[in-house]
Structure 1
């Protein structure tokens, strides 16, 4: 038993001499370390601000149309008839009165942007109505050739075209109607 007591005494004495090393934890870098690593606080703040304040992306009318968005119509629809819309399109040279009596898409010389899908549909409707009118005129006067009826109608109609409207002359050139 003497040996057990000695061992116990030796263990207690040796435990007093052994200590854990002191550990110092630093939660911030020193000034030298901050200089060496660089400070990106300003860059981070600018990036955060840019992400929080969105800006519009400029898109061309073609890009908007490809995305499925309709451009603003050339003519306001408020209180205007389809005839008023056709007159506006004629004045802006987006549509022309052809020498055959039909409306012609002349968007290359258009002075007011682009033709909308509604404008194209309107031109098609007007042309269909004119063809139906000529067919009806043919039933009323079966002895007169269709080309003659069409030419007579076109000459009378040309007088009523809006001043400044885009019209095709007999030689195939386009110009504004003079009043």
Structure 2
């Protein structure tokens, strides 16, 4: 009986000595683990700031023209007349001299740039001025048909078109004026 009592006492005392280990749950990684996993807050902040700092984007003149922006000329255009601007548009093939004597919008053939709103307004002004000129010529020669007056004016005017300008031939095709 004595042994039973000892065994009973040992059995009751044993659970007090033997217990499960403490389990510690960590919800955050240590600094070393953060560095090893690639968490660099300071570096990320500096990189984000560098990405947000505004700076000009380098564009070539051709890229600017594709966006519809005319680059600033190297030489001031002081003294340029409307005729000079029309000659430039004819040379770039943005506008063509039609066989009917009027300027024609040929922007699909345009080289080096696009037609600006000012260019379109200029073409409209020139065409309106030509129509008024033909009406005035008609008052001077009322017996002459308007088509013959227009054709004779166009033949004389075609001689003065700038070399390399975009012109419409009699068969309706477009090409550069040869000089």
TM over 0.5: yes
- Look up the SS of the partner of 1:112 in the other structure: coil
Aligned equivalents of 1:73, 1:45: Cα separation in 2:
35
Question: How far 1:50 sits from its partner (Å)?
Answer: 2.6
Task: Supply the RMSD in Å over aligned alpha carbons.
Answer: 2.6
Match of 1:35 among 32, 35, 40: 32
Question: How far 1:138 sits from its partner (Å)?
Answer: 0.8
Aligned equivalents of 1:85, 1:157: Cα separation in 2:
17
In the other structure, the counterpart of 1:28 is: none
Residues 73 and 115, structure 1, Cα contact 8 Å, conserved in 2: no
Q: What does the per-residue CA deviation read over 1:116-146, in whole Å, with 9 as the maximum and x for residues that have no partner?
A: 1111100000000000000111111110010
**Structure 2 vs 1, CA of residues 175 and 62 (structure 1 numbering), >3 Å: closer, same or farther?**
closer
In the other structure, the counterpart of 2:85 is: 85
In the other structure, the counterpart of 2:137 is: 137
In the other structure, the counterpart of 1:46 is: 47
Question: How far 1:98 sits from its partner (Å)?
Answer: 0.2
- Look up the SS of the partner of 1:104 in the other structure: strand
- Look up the SS of the partner of 1:167 in the other structure: strand
Q: What does the per-residue CA deviation read over 1:24-82, in whole Å, with 9 as the maximum and x for residues that have no partner?
A: xxxxxxxx82123444232222223333x3234689769966xxxxx227987422111
Aligned residues: 142
- Look up the SS of the partner of 1:79 in the other structure: coil
- Look up the SS of the partner of 1:123 in the other structure: helix
- Look up the SS of the partner of 2:30 in the other structure: helix
Residues 95 and 103, structure 1, Cα contact 8 Å, conserved in 2: yes
- Look up the SS of the partner of 1:134 in the other structure: helix
Gaps of 5+ in 1: 1-31, 66-70
In the other structure, the counterpart of 1:114 is: 114
- Look up the SS of the partner of 1:72 in the other structure: coil
Aligned equivalents of 1:157, 1:174: Cα separation in 2:
17
Q: What does the per-residue CA deviation read over 1:83-110, in whole Å, with 9 as the maximum and x for residues that have no partner?
A: 0111111111111000000000111111
Aligned equivalents of 1:96, 1:148: Cα separation in 2:
21
Aligned equivalents of 2:65, 2:156: Cα separation in 1:
39
Aligned equivalents of 2:137, 2:119: Cα separation in 1:
27
